[in-house]
Chain A
Amino acid sequence: MARKPSPSQTRPAQAEEAGAPPRQNRMVRFLVLFPIFLAVGFCALLIPFLHPAVTAFTRGLVEISAIVIRLFGGHAAAQQVILRNPSNGFAMEVLDGCNGDDVVVLLWAAILAYPASWLQKGKGLLAGTATIYLINFVRIISLFYLGQYDVRWFEFAHLYVWESVFVLLTLTIFWMWVRRMAAPRAV
């Protein structure tokens, strides 16, 4: 699978010497494009026209969470965007902001704005999005159990802890992607 990299792939600095835009220009381009892509992404999330698709995605997320919980012996039932424990009546609603879309928009805006080939961007988008949604399952399931234990802790974890962790995680995923892309490859 791994091809021997061409000399231009081994060091980004060499590419600059060969006539590619200097690093500073690329960073300026990133700083201009990033807020634009971020705004476009959030507009897409907010447009009523796309709202049914977002809700359908959230519904799927709740369904899969219920299946995963049942696979591990827990009690859970999905009802639209509500995850319910039939044995004790606890229920939590997964809203649009809780489905991980916000941080995915952040990651996509950063990756799309960063100067890289479309193949590299595609890999970063796929891997990053998959990682975020995978961890979002952990988040939803952990909140489902935490809510049954104590509603105050649920609120704290939901509003303050997990959301902050997700933003840090997204920043780290982007940083890892940039490093992987820019690092010299082994020959």
Chain B
Amino acid sequence: MSDRQLSDPLRFLLRALVCLAFMLALWWLVLLNPLLAGLRLSAELTLRLLPGGSSVSHVTIGPDRDWTFQVPAPAAVVNQERTQQMLGAAAAGAGHIKIRSMKVEGTGKYPILFTVSLPLFWAILLAAPGRPRLWRMASGTVVLATVALLSIAVYAVRLVGGYFQLTTEGFPGFLMDSAVYLATGVVPYLGPVLVALSLDGELRGLILAGGEAAPAAAPAVSAAPRRRRRR
């Protein structure tokens, strides 16, 4: 393997690492709070679209960055015998207990994690050969922000499930565990790469072509001026 063959990927890696360092610093020091505020607002608006959620849904971020979701209580779960027992209906002898909404709290670590895809995505686009295109940055940012919102939704569902001590066994449990695993451990890191490669055709072509065009084109370009000079 010659240096020339290695140079493009390694140059990309070095550029990407430098860009990543800058972008992570910018994200952590400047952009994180506005991004979390935007995510909180989007999550709240999404929750309000749920049935019965228009008046009761609230999402707040505490001073320690922990998140509190006030969400409409799912009737199907609340009406279950087990949930009623948990709520104390049997002990109080009050019959059927009804609740409209519930509050669940979650650590702030995961919502922050859902936004880390943005600095990684920007670093990849800035490190890619050619001039960075603003529309690619903007559209990729929108896509990843939407993915972050979906991840927040998965996280909130998990918190609600944990509150009601819903079972994590069987196929539904496997699906839920898989969704949480993907949302917290895979999507924040793989998402930016896939979105960057989807949007940046030049980078995608360069990686997938594996330098097929370059070696063939190079001698033709360098040979042509020499012939002209001789004439």
Contact residues of A with B, CB < 8 Å?
Answer: 11-13, 23, 27, 30, 42, 46, 48, 97, 102, 106, 114, 155-156, 159-161, 163-169, 171-172, 174-176, 178-184
B192 contacts across to A, CB distance below 8 A = 167
B208 partner, pick from A12, A167, A178, beta carbons under 8 A: A178
B119 contacts across to A, CB distance below 8 A = 164
A159 touches B113 (CB 8 A): yes
Mark the stretch among B44-52, B132-140, B141-149, B180-188 that contacts chain A.
Answer: B180-188
A42 touches B120 (CB 8 A): no
Cβ of B124 under 8 Å from chain A: yes
Q: In the complex, A185 Cα to B64 Cα: how many Å?
A: 58
Per-position binary interface string of chain B over residues 90-108, scored 1 when its CB falls under 8 Å from any chain A CB and 0 otherwise: 0000000000000000000
B209 touches A182 (CB 8 A): yes
Instruction: Tell me whether A97 and B17 are in contact in the complex, defined as CB-CB below 8 angstroms, given that A23-B209, A175-B9 are known contacts.
Output: no
B124 partner, pick from A156, A160, A163, A168, beta carbons under 8 A: A168
Instruction: Tell me whether A175 and B189 are in contact in the complex, defined as CB-CB below 8 angstroms, given that A30-B208, A183-B215 are known contacts.
Output: no
A168 partner, pick from B1, B16, B215, beta carbons under 8 A: B16
B6 contacts across to A, CB distance below 8 A = 176, 179
A13 touches B17 (CB 8 A): no
CB distance from A25 to the nearest CB of B (A): 12
B17 touches A181 (CB 8 A): no
B13 partner, pick from A46, A102, A169, A179, beta carbons under 8 A: A169
B174 touches A46 (CB 8 A): yes
B206 contacts across to A, CB distance below 8 A = 175
A171 touches B210 (CB 8 A): no
A178 touches B13 (CB 8 A): no
Q: In the complex, A162 Cα to B230 Cα: how many Å?
A: 56
Instruction: Tell me whether A183 and B9 are in contact in the complex, defined as CB-CB below 8 angstroms, given that A46-B181, A167-B192, A168-B124 are known contacts.
Output: no
B190 partner, pick from A11, A156, A167, A172, beta carbons under 8 A: A167
CB distance from A163 to the nearest CB of B (A): 5
Cβ of B116 under 8 Å from chain A: yes
A-B contact pairs, 15 of them (CB 8 A): A12-B212, A23-B209, A23-B212, A42-B178, A97-B186, A102-B185, A102-B189, A106-B190, A163-B116, A164-B116, A165-B20, A171-B124, A175-B8, A178-B208, A184-B215
